[in-house]
Homo-oligomer: A and B are copies of this chain.
């Protein structure tokens, strides 16, 4: 096990009818900024629950935070925070709304060009205080409700921004709030949580036995409940397990003391930025190919994954691994997610452009060992056609 620090002060309030808890969690005298996305929270009743729970508190709204939230969009909220003397940020949405809210909070308390927050760690670290954030999660997927990270899009790049000030003070996870999600968003969320988990698990053995078991537990849970929660969105037990697994997949716990390989997200971000493919779908396209191309480097953990997650154990090790990769692909497909670039009308001719963007964004040394080159990315993309 590698040395590690684990710190996660976000309070989770989980369960049925927990949106009411807002009243307990936000100071009575606070002036609240409610941040949200495209307005589905108004369509499906969540907005009403939230404003009811806020009672007599003053609040202002900032809507329109899009998927893969753009710097240009979210930065507009900074003026609202300042002009309206906001005391508390309440993000009501999925990972994009929460990520946007985290960035807005840092930007509102940063002296200087706020674009620097996307690029310079020193800029982020120069922010020493910010408003408290609360969230009401409407889309389980990214884990943003219980971590310190945000990913912000700017021009054709995606920029991760990490700060301890970005941990939500609390997050309300009411599975019933997610019942009205479209199937495609649920499927994307399941894949996103699945990939977060394997990126912290299918690397090389590091002797972190509980972390491995916990990662396998998340994967087994997602495999078990994925198709069921799609088929029957109002089955509370299935949906609750989806929500909690997605949070656990990226709250720092399974990543403590282990190597991590964020290749799938790195290449996936380029596919989203260039062609607008849903984030979850880019991950489903890439993961089987990454494992195929990096089979040798991930051999031992792929065998462990095959055995413990899929109960596959053939006499021949490579056959075992290949079957596990195939099982993973089939799982994604069973959720209605296509797993080939060609399914999204991308062909060989697009690969150069993707590689060029990876280079432009400094993604030439990916993987848990930092030795996944642009040529390896080419092989991965060719394999994914």
Contacts and interface: CB of A to CB of B under 8 A. Distances in A.
Interface stretch (A70-78, A108-116, A209-217): A209-217
Contact of A14 (B6, B9, B237): B6
A234 interface: no
Interface residues of A, number: 40
A106 to B, nearest CB: 20
B3 A12 contact: no
A206 to B, nearest CB: 9
A14 B7 contact: no
The oligomer's copy count stands at 2
Contacts of A253: 253
B6 A12 contact: yes
Given A217-B217, A256-B14, A241 B209 contact: yes
A11 interface: yes
A68 B1 CA distance: 31
Given A5-B13, A5-B14, 11 more contacts: A1-B14, A3-B18, A5-B12, A6-B14, A207-B237, A208-B241, A213-B213, A213-B214, A216-B217, A244-B257, A253-B253
Interface in A257-312: 257
A221 interface: yes
Interface string A193-231: 000000000000001111011101110110011000000
A213 B217 contact: yes
Interface of A: 1-16, 18, 207-210, 212-214, 216-218, 220-221, 224-225, 237, 240-241, 244-245, 248, 253, 256-257
Of A16, A210, A212, A218, the most chain B CB neighbours within 10 A belong to A210
Contacts of A3: 14-16, 18
Given A11-B7, A217-B216, A210 B240 contact: no
A147 to B, nearest CB: 14
A362 to B, nearest CB: 29
Contacts of A10: 7
A245 B16 CA distance: 30
Contacts of A16: 3
A253 B221 CA distance: 16
Nearest to A254: B214
Contact of A7 (B12, B216, B224, B256): B12
B210 A217 contact: yes
Given A4-B14, A5-B14, A12-B7, A220 B225 contact: no
18 contacts: A1-B14, A3-B16, A3-B18, A4-B15, A5-B11, A5-B14, A6-B14, A7-B9, A7-B10, A7-B12, A8-B8, A8-B9, A9-B9, A14-B256, A207-B237, A209-B224, A210-B248, A213-B217
Nearest to A17: B3
A23 to B, nearest CB: 15
Nearest to A9: B9
Contacts of A214: 210, 213-214, 217
A178 to B, nearest CB: 14
A31 B244 CA distance: 41
Nearest to A6: B12
